[in-house]
Structure 1
Amino acid sequence: MPKPRSRENQGLPLRWRHTHGAYYYNVPPGLEHLWDNKKLFRLGSKLHEAYQAWAKRLGEQANVRTIGDLLDRYALEVIPTKSPASQASNQNQLKKIREVFGSMPLLPFRPQLIYQYIDARSKKKKDPETGKVTGGKIAAHREIEVLSHAYTKAVEWGYIDKHPFKGEVRLQGEQPRQRYVEDWEVEEILSLKPKRSAGSVRMIQAYVRLKLLTGMAQGDLLRLRLDENIKEDGIHNQRHKTKKAMEKWTIYAWSGELREAVKQSLETRPKDSPYLFCNREGRGYVNEDQGRASGWKSMWQRFMDRVLEETKVTEPFTEHDLRAKVGSDASSLEHARSLLAHADTKTTQRVYRRKAEVVEPIRRRPAKAEVPPTKAIDADLDRRVA
Structure 2
Amino acid sequence: MGKRRKKNLSLPQHMHKKGNNYYYVARVDGKNKWTALGNDLVTARLEWAKLENVAFNAGDLVTFDVAAQRFEFEVIPHLGSRTQLEYTRQLKKLRAVFGNVPLDAITPYFINKYVRERTKKIAANREKALFSTVFNHARVWGYTSAPNPCAGVKGNKETGRDRYIEDDEFCRVMEQACQPLRVTMELAYYTGQRPSDVLKILRSDIKDGALWIRQNKTRTPIRIELEGPLLDIIIRITTEMPPLRPGTMRTKHLIQNEHGQAVTYGSLKYRFAKAREKSGVENIQFRDIRAKSATDTDDRSTISHAQDLLGHKSRKMTEHYIKTRIGKRVSPAPKIMKNRSNTRTTT
Q: Under TM normalisation by the shorter chain, which class is it?
A: 0.7 to 0.9
Native 8 Å contact 2:136 2:148 kept in 1: no
SS in 1 for 2:8: strand
What letter matches 2:329 in structure 1?
A: V
Q: Which residue of 2 aligns with 1:208?
A: 185
Native 8 Å contact 1:207 1:265 kept in 2: no
Native 8 Å contact 1:215 1:326 kept in 2: yes
How far, CA to CA, are the matches of 1:33 and 1:180 in structure 2? 51
Q: Which residue of 1 aligns with 2:101?
A: 104
Alignment of 1:326 with 2:293, yes or no, is yes
Alignment of 1:165 with 2:159, yes or no, is no
Native 8 Å contact 1:304 1:316 kept in 2: no
Q: Displacement of 1:254 after TM fit?
A: 2.1
Q: Which residue of 2 aligns with 1:184?
A: 168
Q: Which residue of 1 aligns with 2:40?
A: 59
Q: Which residue of 2 aligns with 1:382?
A: none
Q: Displacement of 1:141 after TM fit?
A: 1.7
Alignment of 1:25 with 2:11, yes or no, is no
Q: Which residue of 2 aligns with 1:350?
A: 320
Alignment of 1:236 with 2:236, yes or no, is no
What letter matches 1:211 in structure 2?
A: A
Native 8 Å contact 2:276 2:282 kept in 1: no
Native 8 Å contact 1:97 1:147 kept in 2: yes
How far, CA to CA, are the matches of 1:101 and 1:94 in structure 2? 10
Q: Displacement of 1:302 after TM fit?
A: 2.0
Alignment of 1:315 with 2:282, yes or no, is yes
Identify if the C-alpha distance between structure 1 residues 38 and 367 changes in structure 2 by more than 3 Å, giving closer, same or farther.
farther
How far, CA to CA, are the matches of 2:317 and 2:267 in structure 1? 29
How far, CA to CA, are the matches of 2:132 and 2:190 in structure 1? 38
Native 8 Å contact 2:163 2:284 kept in 1: yes
What 5-or-longer segments of structure 2 have no aligned partner?
27-36, 44-57, 244-249, 343-347
Q: Which residue of 1 aligns with 2:198?
A: 221
Query: Structure 2 matches for 1:1-386, cutoff 5 A?
Result: 24-26=7-9, 28-32=12-16, 58-59=39-40, 61-62=42-43, 63-64=58-59, 65-122=62-119, 136-161=120-145, 163-190=147-174, 192=175, 201-227=178-204, 229-243=205-219, 248-271=220-243, 273-286=251-264, 293-308=265-280, 314-331=281-298, 332-353=302-323, 354-361=325-332, 363=334, 369-370=340-341
Q: Displacement of 1:37 after TM fit?
A: 9.4
Deviation larger for 174-183 or 266-275:
266-275
How far, CA to CA, are the matches of 2:254 and 2:162 in structure 1? 30
What are the Cα deviations for residues 212-255 of structure 1, in whole angstroms up to 9, with x where unaligned?
Answer: 2211211121122112x111321111112222xxxx42111122
TM-score (norm. length: structure 2):
0.74
What 5-or-longer segments of structure 1 have no aligned partner?
1-15, 18-23, 40-55, 123-135, 194-199, 287-292, 309-313, 372-386
Native 8 Å contact 1:176 1:350 kept in 2: no
Native 8 Å contact 2:213 2:223 kept in 1: yes
How far, CA to CA, are the matches of 1:166 and 1:367 in structure 2? 61
SS in 2 for 1:25: coil
Q: Which residue of 2 aligns with 1:289?
A: none
Native 8 Å contact 2:64 2:103 kept in 1: yes
Identify if the C-alpha distance between structure 1 residues 240 and 99 changes in structure 2 by more than 3 Å, giving closer, same or farther.
closer
Q: Displacement of 1:101 after TM fit?
A: 2.4
Q: How many residues align?
A: 298
SS in 1 for 2:152: coil
Q: Displacement of 1:182 after TM fit?
A: 1.0
Native 8 Å contact 2:80 2:216 kept in 1: no
Higher helix share: 2
SS in 2 for 1:263: helix
Deviation larger for 63-72 or 109-118:
63-72
How far, CA to CA, are the matches of 2:138 and 2:92 in structure 1? 19
Native 8 Å contact 1:235 1:254 kept in 2: yes
CA RMSD in angstroms, aligned pairs only:
3.2
